[in-house]
Amino acid sequence: MDKLQAMQTLVRVVESGSFSAVAREQNTTQSAVSKQVAALERALDAKLLIRTTRSLALTEEGERYFEQARRVVADVAEAETSLKHGSTQLKGWLRVAASGGFGRLKLMPLVQTFLAQHPQVRIDLRLSDGFIDLVEQGIDIAVRIGELADSRLVARQVGTSRRGLIAHRTYLRKLPKGIKPPRTPEDLAQHNCIVYTGSSMRNAWRLQAGAGAAEPEGTGRSVKVEGNLQTDSSEVVRASVLAGMGICYTPSWLFDDELASGEVVRLLPDWSVLSPVHLVTPQERRHSAKVRAFGDHVAASLA
């Protein structure tokens, strides 16, 4: 058995969802394709696919193996393309990860321009506000905001993100009698605060005094806040603020357009936190031409 060929066949079967489609691609029979996958399963002593007459699905072991196999197949294709066409010819899958809000608002436009420049590249964009294990999920490159803890990853800082307090003008106009917009961090206790549970801060917001604050610059303050809504989605935070439901503590890029138009306003602008923005990639992917090219593209734009 040619193991690389069998891996390529498995990858195409999973991507296309069909043995017959791969048989047509390879100009062979569906039975021959099925035998390649079965031979690979015997060699690995593991069941990779659950097959029925109408569908197929990866087993748990198959999911883990598929991500690694797809990476190997992509690396081989990239090496062959580089020899044939030179290092500027990029081709194949690139798996990219980011948080939901950043991915939609900031990364998607860069994905579009990158694909326009490299039409033979295909991007698998995975957006989640939860933690993604890049190695386990087979991710080539990801955007992470904040301090990094995973030493297995190669990191490149490409910018900074300022987290601050933001509210819609509707919320501020409808404040109960006697309640004013916050003038100090402690005033947040009087307000309805939208809590983002995807952050380690949750409802204990940590702010830092800037040059214009009454406190010495760099002074940290942790303020406990309460509210009638909490969520693990940055998109829900954004939607609830735009609906005038309360105050959030979030990266300002989530509301760039609304801040520019004046629809939403910064509160306590002299109290905020600056966090690094990194591009991170697994050690074994750092030499990939596609990873380098995409990283340079994102870095240049964010800078």
How far is residue 18's CA from residue 24's CA, in Å, rounded to a whole number? Answer: 10
CATH 1.10.10.10 fits 3-66, yes or no: yes
| DSSP-derived secondary structure letter, 262 | T
Angle subtended by helix axes 19-26 and 30-44, to nearest 10:
110
How far is residue 189's CA from residue 196's CA, in Å, rounded to a whole number? Answer: 16
Q: Which two tokens stand for residue 271?
A: 């109290």
Fold agreement between 83-159+276-302 and 160-275:
yes
| 3-class SS of residue 194 | coil
pLDDT in tens, 165-218: 999 999 999 999 989 999 999 999 999 999 999 888 888 999 999 988 888 888
State the sign of the Cα–Cα–Cα–Cα dihedral 75, 285, 89, 143.
Answer: positive
Give one DSSP letter per residue of 116-184, joined into a string: HH-TTEEEEEEE-SS---HHHHT-SEEEEES----TTEEEEEEEEEEEEEEEEHHHHHTPPTT----SS
Angle subtended by helix axes 289-302 and 60-85, to nearest 10:
90
- pTM here is 0.72
Terminal Cα distance for the chain, rounded = 49
Pairing assessment for the beta strands 121-127 and 92-98 based on DSSP bridges: parallel
State residue 245 phi and psi, 5-degree precision: -85, -20
pLDDT for 60 equals: 87
81 Cβ contact partners less than 8 Å away, ≥ 6 residues apart: 89, 90, 91, 92
How far is residue 167's CA from residue 181's CA, in Å, rounded to a whole number? Answer: 10
For 83-159+276-302, CATH number out of 3.40.50.2000, 3.40.640.10, 3.40.190.10, 3.40.50.300 equals 3.40.190.10
User: Rounded to 5 degrees, what angle do the CA atoms 140, 144, 148 make?
Assistant: 105
Q: Which residues in the chain come in under a pLDDT of 50?
A: none
Domain limits, the chain = 3-66, 83-159+276-302, 160-275
- Beta-bridge partner residues of 94: 123
Residue with tokens 């069998």: 6
pLDDT for 82 equals: 60
- Cβ pair 296, 88 in contact under 8 A: no
For 160-275, CATH number out of 3.90.1300.10, 1.10.510.10, 3.30.450.20, 3.40.190.290 equals 3.40.190.290
